[in-house]
Amino acid sequence: NAGVTQTPKFQVLKTGQSMTLQCAQDMNHEYMSWYRQDPGMGLRLIHYSVGAGITDQGEVPNGYNVSRSTTEDFPLRLLSAAPSQTSVYFCASSSYSGANVLTFGAGSRLTVL
Amino acid sequence: QQQVKQSPQSLIVQKGGISIINCAYENTAFDYFPWYQQFPGKGPALLIAIRPDVSEKKEGRFTISFNKSAKQFSLHIMDSQPGDSATYFCAALYNFNKFYFGSGTKLNVKP
């Protein structure tokens, strides 16, 4: 049982480049979400999804796009990367029958030059 | 502004001592308050959680104290061990779908 898998673990981009952070879960969780972790800021919610075809914005959605075509996958897209998007990104999922327990992936460290 | 305020930013405790981390919130619509533990290079993992109709919850050496009227909650780690050295995040859940996290506390337990 892999849980939540994030790829890539590390990525360096130049300003203006685009990329997609991948997130997959094999627990049949309805809820999936993306967070960014910055020093002194904790974890901030970027986007979340309550099921396939349904997404919504979190605290800091600007500059990021998401889609949810399947229950398992929830990719995060940066269309035009900016240095302010340098961060560690975490994907997390939960089941609504699981008492709101978030299962996190191992994280993806993104540097934008 | 931060929806959940956490303090202290860092904490050094001797082995066997008590570690205390505090969080405060303003939004009375929050209805679930978990604590997450994160080791370097790993994702956070749920440690313990409480709902606002309960004033205290204990699991082993970890206790959450919850003060609904003051809109504050805290994590107490009894008999702290070097293996507890990690970053701890409090959080609050809004409307079933949005978790708001505190800024984190880096705990260092000295042997």
pLDDT of residue A97: 62
**A100 in contact with B, Cβ within 8 Å:** yes
pLDDT of residue B96: 81
Read off the tokens for B111.
């042997």
Read off the tokens for B28.
């009375």
| pLDDT beneath 50: ranges in chain A | none
pLDDT of residue A99: 60
pLDDT of residue A3: 94
Question: Which chain A positions have a beta carbon within 8 Å of B42's beta carbon?
Answer: 106-107
Q: Do A58 and B98 touch (CB under 8 A)?
A: yes
% helix, strand, coil for chain A, step of 5: 5, 50, 45
| Residue A28 main-chain phi, psi, to 5 deg | 60, 35
pLDDT of residue A98: 56
List C-alpha distances in Å: B101 to A24, A87, B78: 23, 16, 23
Q: Among A91, A102, A103, A108, which would you mutate to test the B interface (most chain B Cβ atoms within 10 Å of its Cβ)?
A: A102
pLDDT of residue B60: 97
**A31 in contact with B, Cβ within 8 Å:** yes
Q: Do A44 and B101 touch (CB under 8 A)?
A: yes
Question: Which chain A positions have a beta carbon within 8 Å of B103's beta carbon?
Answer: 40-42
DSSP state of A52: T
A67 CB-near residues (< 8 Å, 6+ apart) = A55, A75, A77
A90 CB-near residues (< 8 Å, 6+ apart) = A6, A34, A35, A36, A37, A43, A104, A105, A107, A108, B43, B44
pLDDT of residue B95: 84
How many other C-beta atoms can be found within 10 angstroms of the C-beta atom of residue B56?
Answer: 12
How many other C-beta atoms can be found within 10 angstroms of the C-beta atom of residue A109?
Answer: 15
Find the length of chain A: 113
pLDDT of residue A1: 64
Model confidence over A86-97: pLDDT tens digits? 999 999 999 876
pLDDT of residue B97: 84
Q: How far apart are CA A7 and CA A38, in angstroms?
A: 19
**A107 in contact with B, Cβ within 8 Å:** yes
Q: Do A102 and B42 touch (CB under 8 A)?
A: no
Q: How far apart are CA A35 and CA A52, in angstroms?
A: 19
> pLDDT 10s per residue in chain B (111 long)?
779 999 999 999 999 999 999 999 999 999 999 999 999 999 999 999 999 999 999 999 999 999 999 999 999 999 999 999 999 999 999 988 899 999 999 999 999
Q: Do B97 and A56 touch (CB under 8 A)?
A: yes
Question: Which chain A positions have a beta carbon within 8 Å of B45's beta carbon?
Answer: 104
